[in-house]
Structure 1
Amino acid sequence: MPVHFEAAHGTLSSIWLLVAIPLASAAILLLFGRWMNKWGHILGVLSVLASFVLGLIYFFSLRGLAGPSRAASLNLFDFIPVGGLKVQFGLLLDPLSAIFVLLITGVGFLIHLYAVGYMSHDQGRRRFFGYFNLFVAAMLLLVLGNNYVITFVGWEGVGLASYLLISFWNDRPAAATAGKKAFIMNRVGDAGFVTAIFLMFATFGSVNFADVFNGATSGAAGKTTILILGLLLLLGACGKSGQFPLQAWLPDAMEGPTPVSALIHAATMVTAGVYLIARSNPIFSANASLQTVVVSVGAFTLLFGAIIGGAKDDIKRVLAWSTVSQIGYMFLGVGLGGAAYALALIHLLAHGFFKAGLFLGSGSIMHSMKDQTDIRRFGGLWRYMPITWITFGLGYLAIIGIPPLSGYFSKDPIIEAAFNRPGWTGWLFGSAALLGAGLTAFYMTRLIVLTFHGPKRWTEDIEHPHESPPIMTIPLLLLGVGSIAAGGLFVSPLLPVKDWLMPVFNNPPEESHAHIGQWTSSGLTLLVVLIGLALGIVLFRNGTALHEQPAGPVVRAARANLYGDAFNEGVFEKPGLYLTRALVYLDNRGVDGLVNGLAAFVGGTSGRLRRTQSGFVRSYALSILGGALLIVAATLAVALG
């Protein structure tokens, strides 16, 4: 069925307000800061709340639309009218973008509210909320764009905002370095995205979603072109979502304030890569080899992140590597295609709730423990921080997939779909996803046991841990409710996300092939999860050593991020440095040497010739006489010859 988007009308003709409100708030906070230092955070919170309310209104308006596509497209003005390239600044609200709008603004509002308390004593709070609003506006533009160029504008906007927020405390060298690392690694992925846009225009003559998707499904492009296009889009998605081989920036981004970790690196920005692949589903579904690459990246990354997460002692870095792993499950889902597209999106939504709650819970712990992050120096905190303990525990149970919490309804179906992929690869990818579930249960149990249970291991400067203020605990409680109910709600008849997303994925048929059944898959997954949970309790119930202990090769490798940074340094960074130095040497000694040598020759020659211009008449007369004698001699030689 050809893709077609109806023009927006009525209430939906004002969807531009979703982006305009937080963008205007960011401009006010950043440009008129002297008048907003005291009350700027209130404007920042209310602007996101306003976008959330509008998002709800537009969501229900969208539900009332007739037609198979259930989408409203709004072109605002000509953005790039150059030659054959005609790009409108346009927005698209459809089932896919609508759920992202609600996630970004709903969870974003709770994180903004939490940040009011978390950043209450920071001198740059007004600037922080300005950057926060800028990010929300850019993220909304990313998911609402109706063509790849506008999506790319939002894509770069969130990259800029992420850099500003990660390095917000730029007086700390680690934060400044982490911001630069995130910015540079994302540029690698962005190069793939922008090259894909060039290829789209060269192949289809357009960058509009409808034109590109219809061209991809009609056979207007060859299989090789589709494969290259999909790989370029995948490179962009891996950069933004922290997937292998561009995963190294995301854990380092924990140097930013904890609300940044919750909003950008758990609930929204790092899911942009999943959105890009889901939005481009006609391209990825048109090439089976391309889908296999996406599934392979997701399966490898979910294991990669889970193994490293089990060896980290920094509470935020454990959660960061957990994010890398969980997004791997989402990539696995979108790579499987068909009905699994919706499964990946359900896990994305559920993950937005429980991972945001886990990150904000870690911030609450840091707030109580004087910004300490080493879980080896916690222990016994459940008595002093009961609300944080309960909400963190709900997020923990949700992420490991204990029924009936949200992870059970969102992650388990992806594992089942992976097992039921046709051929032997189904067993391979299903086993990887199953092993990842066990590893997730192990490292998350280690995290919660060392943090909240066992003996106290605090340093002497921590006299009395305490619960965070209500401005921080209320968002934790609401996200805890989401950790319980989100997954079940999204698969229930009340809000069936799978049915809601069918128009976006062109009504994908259910797979008839099955290696294992639903109950077998769920039972096996629960068994593996319980084994991982039990290992975590047995090994860490009495705490752990406060000093580095001799470790085996696997643990050493995990602590070194499985040598991913060393690989990037050895394969890309050092050869790049050597090449740069060689080019600088060639430029200095070769190009500059030739230019400077020629200049020295001309300068020296002109200097010597200048000496003949002495200003003495007798010298000029002698020169004239010499010249005349030479002419006479030459004339006589010719005549006599």
Structure 2
Amino acid sequence: MYQTIVLLPLAGFLIAGLFGNAIGAKASEYITSGFLIVAAVLSWIGFISFGLGEGETLRLTLFQWMQSGGLDVAWSLRIDRLTLVMLVVVNTVSSLVHVYSIGYMHHDPHRPRFFAYLSLFTFAMLMLVTSNNLVQMFFGWEGVGLASYLLIGFWYKKPSANAAAMKAFIVNRVGDFGFVLGIFGVFVLFGSLNLDTIFAGAADIAGQMGGEGGQAAPALGDAVLDFAGYSLSMGAALTVICLLLFMGAMGKSAQIGLHTWLPDAMEGPTPVSALIHAATMVTAGVFLVARMSPLFELSHTALTFVTFIGATTAIFAATVGLVQNDIKRVIAYSTCSQLGYMFVALGVGAYSVAIFHLFTHAFFKALLFLGAGSVIHAVSDEQDMRRMGGLKKHIPATYWLMVIGTLALTGFPFTAGYFSKDAVIEAAFVGDNAFATYGWGLTVMAALLTSFYSWRLIFMTFHGKPRASADVMHHIHESPMVMLVPLFVLAAGALLAGLLFAGAFIGEGYEEFWLASLYTGPENEVLHDLHDVPFAIAFLPAVMMAIGFAIAWLFYIRSPELPHQVVERHRGLYKFLLNKWYFDELYGFLFVRPAKALGRFLWKTGDGKVIDGLGPDGVSARVLDVTNRVVRLQTGYLYHYAFAMLIGVAALVSWTMLGGAN
């Protein structure tokens, strides 16, 4: 069954990609969507029968991949609780996106290519989450990077789409470089890239470190890894490896510093935004850290850094989301912020809380992205919320579905976000690393900002007076059922996912549920402690949510002139946020412009003047000079040739006479 789940998207990609033009767009849509629906159903069957039962970890080897010295890599599927959660998330969202795209992309002439790319992306993501070794994981990791490049730049005739695709590809390569170095370090340290071997080695190290008084055994002080000119002991080597792996996670999951590709990726079709940026590609980094929890648990320094980056990302993205006017960019920065929440949970050791928020977030964020697509579809592809307004009565189904997604995102009681998002905040409160309190404070503040910009989106888009042109308002229409049905399914998940699965994911029996999927050290009591936080701390996120809603209502319903007044009063801060903390400008100054200048110098001077000038171009130019001069001797006059012959005869006679004299 699990082999079928992984290979069905690959089959859909091959059929639509190779034979799409022959079988037609409709057949490509139905085949790829049908395969993904079957994969999603099988994933839920596996999750319920295995994930919620007493199943042990399964290892299914498909074939031997490569053998070289001590490196032995097979294409093998690792099926455990963590894998099954990811299978459910990836295949459910992907199947709904496929169905939704049948309606959304109805007028696009290249639908077979689009659906082939969607299936390729899904297959690569499944390769990643089912991997039993780091090589296979990296193969899937790079596969989703390639597929995201193709999907973001799907409308390749748009320069902005091409630029966004290139940006996503290049920024992710920065993070992937760290991931590759981390994999190399793991191989040096453990002699294998198989997860079972790595985890067994980590358990041995943990046993050594758990001696009397918590002191490491003498062997742990020996140098075990050379990195950047330094000889590292076991503890330092583990920290460096974890930080390198996290560098890869930062790129894929758009954490601050490597986040700049995510908002620009909105240039792709809206279903792509939902698939890549809601539940799949951007959560790969969260999955990586959770999967490698046995290593991260051995490095307190690495977990502290993860907490710091996650909390900073959460507040950074939330502040930028306050002033965005593109409906998709608001949701994109919300994704970035929520990923920061997940990394805060990972950093304080609450791995199951992070995966729980990943699980619930997939439903309500995909709902918001696809709901935004329904709005864009209704208003003739307009994305600027300043040109919307008053849409509630025209597209009521879309309105109420987006309200459900907003309630879940902001953590309204008993929705999915209420259970998972509040658990992240509570885990940060009881965490014991140096940045746990920092993480708690910023996630609480981010909860207020999240509520404000989420309701700002709803009020600007659906309430107030219509701001669109008369022609656009005349053509506004509700989306077809093929687009609305996936939204209803996601809305059900946004309302019920937290209520149904909170007990299994983070309840009292979470250890039995996760078994060997996630590892927490004997001193890690975060999951136990977060259930005993004071009532005021547990209630605080709800207060922040209410305050954010009230401010948004005041600004955009009660007194619509207030936003303009606040902007005029704080013009500098507004520009700072509108320009996204000037990260793009800073990177342009530090990296892009110098790289272009260096490239131009090497092109014009190094290649043009030096290499070509002294090489092939120079030689050919000298040959031309000589031949041009020789050509001038060919005048065509007989007496010129006779004169040249006489000079030649005279020279020959002279040489003979003088030579003979000697």
- The amino acid across from 2:183 in the alignment is I
The separation in 2 between residues aligned to 1:299 and 1:450, in whole angstroms, is 28
Q: Using the TM superposition, give the Cα deviation of residue 266 of structure 1 relative to its aligned residue in structure 2, in angstroms.
A: 0.9
- The amino acid across from 1:149 in the alignment is V
| Number of the residue aligned with 1:44 | 32
| Number of the residue aligned with 1:564 | 583
| Number of the residue aligned with 1:333 | 345
| Number of the residue aligned with 1:639 | none
The separation in 2 between residues aligned to 1:494 and 1:342, in whole angstroms, is 6
| Number of the residue aligned with 1:119 | 105
Q: Using the TM superposition, give the Cα deviation of residue 592 of structure 1 relative to its aligned residue in structure 2, in angstroms.
A: 5.3
Determine which of 173, 197, 201 is the counterpart of 1:211.
Answer: 197
- Conserved in 1, the CA contact under 8 Å of 2:12 and 2:31? yes
Q: Using the TM superposition, give the Cα deviation of residue 543 of structure 1 relative to its aligned residue in structure 2, in angstroms.
A: 7.7
| Number of the residue aligned with 1:486 | 497
- The amino acid across from 2:571 in the alignment is G
- What whole-Å deviation, never above 9, does each CA across 1:345-372 have from its counterpart, x for those lacking one? 1100110000000111111111111111
1:59 aligns with 2:75: no
Determine which of 529, 533, 536 is the counterpart of 2:545.
Answer: 529
Determine which of 501, 506, 512 is the counterpart of 2:514.
Answer: 501
| Structure 2 portions without partners, runs of 5+ | 206-223, 226-233, 631-644
1:474 aligns with 2:489: no
- The amino acid across from 1:574 in the alignment is R
| Number of the residue aligned with 2:332 | 320
The separation in 2 between residues aligned to 1:217 and 1:299, in whole angstroms, is 29
Report the CA distance shift for 1:166/1:544 in structure 2 as closer, same or farther (over 3 A). farther
| Number of the residue aligned with 1:86 | 72
- Conserved in 1, the CA contact under 8 Å of 2:307 and 2:436? no
The separation in 2 between residues aligned to 1:395 and 1:207, in whole angstroms, is 40
The separation in 2 between residues aligned to 1:35 and 1:429, in whole angstroms, is 53
Report the CA distance shift for 1:506/1:379 in structure 2 as closer, same or farther (over 3 A). same
- Conserved in 2, the CA contact under 8 Å of 1:138 and 1:157? yes
- The amino acid across from 1:459 in the alignment is S
Q: Using the TM superposition, give the Cα deviation of residue 503 of structure 1 relative to its aligned residue in structure 2, in angstroms.
A: 2.1
- Conserved in 2, the CA contact under 8 Å of 1:74 and 1:91? yes
- Conserved in 1, the CA contact under 8 Å of 2:255 and 2:313? yes
The separation in 2 between residues aligned to 1:78 and 1:482, in whole angstroms, is 39
| Number of the residue aligned with 1:541 | 557
Q: Which region of structure 1 is more displaced relative to structure 2, 48-57 or 144-153?
A: 48-57
- What whole-Å deviation, never above 9, does each CA across 1:570-600 have from its counterpart, x for those lacking one? 1211222233334443454555566579969
2:435 partner SS: helix
The separation in 2 between residues aligned to 1:595 and 1:225, in whole angstroms, is 49
- Conserved in 1, the CA contact under 8 Å of 2:356 and 2:505? no
Determine which of 525, 534, 538 is the counterpart of 1:510.
Answer: 525
- The amino acid across from 1:128 in the alignment is F
Q: Which region of structure 1 is more displaced relative to structure 2, 542-551 or 430-439?
A: 542-551
- The amino acid across from 1:568 in the alignment is Y
Matched ranges for 1:370-519 at <5 A: 370-422=380-432, 425-461=435-471, 462-492=473-503, 498-499=510-511, 500-506=513-519, 508=521, 509-511=524-526, 517-519=533-535
Report the CA distance shift for 1:450/1:498 in structure 2 as closer, same or farther (over 3 A). farther
| Number of the residue aligned with 1:15 | 2
Report the CA distance shift for 1:85/1:451 in structure 2 as closer, same or farther (over 3 A). same
Q: Which region of structure 1 is more displaced relative to structure 2, 103-112 or 39-48?
A: 103-112
Report the CA distance shift for 1:601/1:105 in structure 2 as closer, same or farther (over 3 A). closer
- Conserved in 2, the CA contact under 8 Å of 1:454 and 1:543? no
1:156 partner SS: helix
- The amino acid across from 1:560 in the alignment is N
| Number of the residue aligned with 2:17 | 30
The separation in 2 between residues aligned to 1:210 and 1:628, in whole angstroms, is 94
- The amino acid across from 1:20 in the alignment is L
| Number of the residue aligned with 1:132 | 118
Q: Using the TM superposition, give the Cα deviation of residue 53 of structure 1 relative to its aligned residue in structure 2, in angstroms.
A: 2.3
2:331 partner SS: helix
The separation in 2 between residues aligned to 1:132 and 1:318, in whole angstroms, is 23
Report the CA distance shift for 1:290/1:495 in structure 2 as closer, same or farther (over 3 A). closer
- Conserved in 1, the CA contact under 8 Å of 2:178 and 2:248? yes
- The amino acid across from 1:106 in the alignment is T
Q: Using the TM superposition, give the Cα deviation of residue 289 of structure 1 relative to its aligned residue in structure 2, in angstroms.
A: 0.8
Determine which of 253, 262, 266 is the counterpart of 2:274.
Answer: 262
Report the CA distance shift for 1:347/1:304 in structure 2 as closer, same or farther (over 3 A). same
- What whole-Å deviation, never above 9, does each CA across 1:376-412 have from its counterpart, x for those lacking one? 2222222222211111111101111110111110011
- The amino acid across from 2:459 in the alignment is V
- The amino acid across from 1:84 in the alignment is G
The separation in 2 between residues aligned to 1:216 and 1:327, in whole angstroms, is 27
- The amino acid across from 1:151 in the alignment is M
Matched ranges for 1:92-107 at <5 A: 92-107=78-93
The separation in 1 between residues aligned to 2:253 and 2:504, in whole angstroms, is 31
- What whole-Å deviation, never above 9, does each CA across 1:178-227 have from its counterpart, x for those lacking one? 11211111121122222222222233221111222333443377122222
- What whole-Å deviation, never above 9, does each CA across 1:530-579 have from its counterpart, x for those lacking one? 11111111011158579997452221111111111111111211222233
Report the CA distance shift for 1:200/1:527 in structure 2 as closer, same or farther (over 3 A). same
- Conserved in 1, the CA contact under 8 Å of 2:9 and 2:122? yes
Q: Using the TM superposition, give the Cα deviation of residue 423 of structure 1 relative to its aligned residue in structure 2, in angstroms.
A: 6.1
TM-score (norm 2): 0.85
| Number of the residue aligned with 1:6 | none
- Conserved in 2, the CA contact under 8 Å of 1:30 and 1:127? yes
2:65 partner SS: strand
- The amino acid across from 1:539 in the alignment is F
- The amino acid across from 1:405 in the alignment is T
The separation in 2 between residues aligned to 1:410 and 1:316, in whole angstroms, is 23
TM-score (norm 1): 0.88
Report the CA distance shift for 1:450/1:201 in structure 2 as closer, same or farther (over 3 A). same
The separation in 2 between residues aligned to 1:116 and 1:309, in whole angstroms, is 30
The separation in 1 between residues aligned to 2:239 and 2:419, in whole angstroms, is 32
Determine which of 232, 236, 248 is the counterpart of 2:244.
Answer: 232
Matched ranges for 1:573-588 at <5 A: 573-584=592-603, 585-588=605-608
- The amino acid across from 2:197 in the alignment is D
1:79 partner SS: strand
| Number of the residue aligned with 2:133 | 147
Matched ranges for 1:339-350 at <5 A: 340-350=350-360
- The amino acid across from 2:492 in the alignment is V
1:564 partner SS: helix
The separation in 2 between residues aligned to 1:322 and 1:494, in whole angstroms, is 23
- Identity among equivalent pairs (%): 40
- Conserved in 1, the CA contact under 8 Å of 2:125 and 2:144? yes
| Number of the residue aligned with 1:637 | none
Matched ranges for 1:287-366 at <5 A: 287-337=299-349, 340-366=350-376
- Conserved in 2, the CA contact under 8 Å of 1:416 and 1:518? no
- Conserved in 2, the CA contact under 8 Å of 1:454 and 1:542? no
1:73 partner SS: strand
| Number of the residue aligned with 2:642 | none
1:286 partner SS: coil
Report the CA distance shift for 1:529/1:626 in structure 2 as closer, same or farther (over 3 A). farther
- What whole-Å deviation, never above 9, does each CA across 1:463-492 have from its counterpart, x for those lacking one? 153221111111111111111111122213
- The amino acid across from 2:125 in the alignment is M
